Amino acid sequence: KFNTAIAALMALVNDFYANGASRGDMKALLLMLSPFAPHLCEEQWEVMGFAKETGKVIGNIYCGHRDYNARELGYIVNQNYQRRGYALEALTALTDTLFAEGAHRVYAECDPRNEASWRLLEDAGLTRKAHFRQNLYFHTDERGRPKWKDTYVYARLNPLAPDGRSVAGEASESE
């Protein structure tokens, strides 16, 4: 019974990734999932990204509140809409808004093998602060041993310090 429902849901999600999804499609999906994952659905509804000319959902931007007034950023874009500037536009708008609201720092992590992702972060004004080697894993091998992955960490300080002064030379400062 559950395998059929999960298979149908995965088929729907795959269709969304292949063909895009309208705001109505996403609303229906999120409403359907909300009893099972209310916080996730609420957050996804808040942060969905839309392509201006089509009105289709093409991805989302994540913003997590972290300690010390920092915000963690994340993003995903449908492969049919990548490298068109949508992610940079959304990431820049979000970062500008977060800084205007008083966030001290924004940061993001990405896979070093995903050049498009770390170049996007650089284009959005973040600088590479760390390269963690073998710091996490999502999969294990046939013997159950972790398949370790590296992570890049990018960050940017709010260009205005809390007292309103400009933060000059931010890229060279230790963040």
* pLDDT tens-digit series, residues 120-165: 999 999 999 999 999 988 889 999 999 999 999 999 999 876 655 5
Tell me, what DSSP letter sits at residue 67?
A: G
Q: What pLDDT is recorded for position 50? A: 41
Question: CA torsion, points 121, 123, 128, 132, in degrees to nearest 10?
Answer: 30
Residues near 35 by beta carbon (within 8 Å), at least 6 away in sequence: none
Q: What is the C-alpha separation between 34 and 38, in angstroms, rounded?
A: 4
Q: What pLDDT is recorded for position 2? A: 52
- 112 within 8 A of 151, measured Cβ to Cβ: yes
Tell me, what DSSP letter sits at residue 26?
A: H
Q: What pLDDT is recorded for position 54? A: 53
Q: What global pTM score does this model have?
A: 0.65
Tokens of 148: 């370790």
Q: What pLDDT is recorded for position 106? A: 96
Tokens of 64: 């997590």
Q: Which residues of the chain have pLDDT under 50?
A: 1, 50-53, 170-175
Tokens of 153: 């960490």
Residues near 161 by beta carbon (within 8 Å), at least 6 away in sequence: 167
